[in-house]
Amino acid sequence: MFFPDYRSRRLRKNEGFRRLIRETRLSVDNLVLPLFVRSGKDTKKPIGSMPGHFQLSIDHLIREVQMTKDAGIPAVLLFGIPDRKDEAASGAFARDGIIQQALRRIKDKTPDMLVFTDVCLCEYTSHGHCGIIEKGEVDNDATLEVLAETAVSHARAGADMVAPSAMMDGQVGAIREALDEAGYETIPIMAYSAKYASCFYGPFREAAEGAPQFGDRKAYQMDPANADEAIREITLDVEEGADIIMVKPALAYLDVIRRAREEFDLPIAAYNVSGEFAMIKAAAKLGWLDGGKAMMEILTSIKRAGADIIITYFAQEAAKILQGG
């Protein structure tokens, strides 16, 4: 088996051989595009640190969803920017909230496109934390009720799947129970199970206007140094009824994706977050990296690590390459 009998380069010598033995194939089927929706008409507000991405009013959002569908991408993940924020996050579950309105309009125009929603409070609270504040701290159990109500309101407005990202203990179970009680037992939950307190969410917080006004999220999001804990978090979400488990961010956590793949048999999603997108765009703009190649290499790595679903701001660009366009 050893050199010179075995020469690895024999099967690398041309593209034909490389194609034959390629282990990982990224497909447009694996991609989900996050989109940001705000109120207004004919508004398309650029997000500075995420070139090519915008806060879209619903009319533009509908066009974007249609384009995403035409690109062969099976799903979008919606984030809302409400007009008003308050302590109670009431915009998160309002019947005429921005996400609820957007869902109804999308489902009317493109009913066969999958629409997923982020279920969290940080975009809707005046203080920018992911939950309800009691005595200066995010109160876990008070937040659960609001998250559950938000998830039900999304299902009622037409969401195909809800994705709780607040990192409250028991959130998956609370949402599952509320959905079932409201008659939405067929709506699945994609749980942000291992979500780290990461600096790579920086550009997103500009995009969604959801930065915490005091402190940080370390009291609920995970410590980047921990991987065994990710397994505990995922185990809890599976027990509480998660249908898909997620690791977030993706690139700095490929080992966590791999361990999740080995230890669980549920579908795994990985969130290739805003900072991972922004750093490739920035380097490409400076001429320091080939942005398209970096994108494909990173998305392939996330799949190779074990992700079935990749949530990425690159979805449309990657789809063009994958569809040979």
Candidate list 107, 109, 135, 195, residue with the active-site label: 195
Residue 151 contacts ligand PBG per CB under 6 A: no
Annotated catalytic residue 248: yes
Token pair of 125, please?
Answer: 């609270």
- Tokens 């979008």, residue located: 76
Beta-carbon neighbour count of residue 180 at 10 Å? 13
CA distance 5 to 56: 59
CA distance 159 to 3: 56
Residue 120 contacts ligand PBG per CB under 6 A: yes
Residues contacting ligand PBG: total by CB under 6 A: 11
Of 193, 274, 301, 312, the residue at the interface with ligand PBG (CB under 6 A) is: 274
Among positions 25-44, residues that touch ligand PBG (CB under 6 A) are none
Cα R_g (the chain), whole angstroms: 20
Residue 220 contacts ligand PBG per CB under 6 A: no
Among 211, 305, 209, CA closest to 249: 305
Neighbour-count burial of 56, counting CB atoms closer than 10 A to its CB (0-12 exposed, 13-18 middle, 19+ buried): buried
Q: Which is nearer to ligand PBG, 154 or 217 (CB)?
A: 217
Token pair of 211, please?
Answer: 């930065």
Annotated catalytic residue 195: yes
Of 273, 280, 315, 318, the residue at the interface with ligand PBG (CB under 6 A) is: 273
CB of 205 to ligand PBG, least distance (A): 6
- Tokens 């600096």, residue located: 199
Of 30, 101, 117, 165, the residue at the interface with ligand PBG (CB under 6 A) is: 165
Of 204, 220, 264, 314, the residue at the interface with ligand PBG (CB under 6 A) is: 204
Kindly list the residues in this chain that would bind ligand PBG in the complex (CB under 6 A): 118, 120, 122, 130, 165, 201, 204-205, 217, 273-274
Catalytic residues: 195, 248
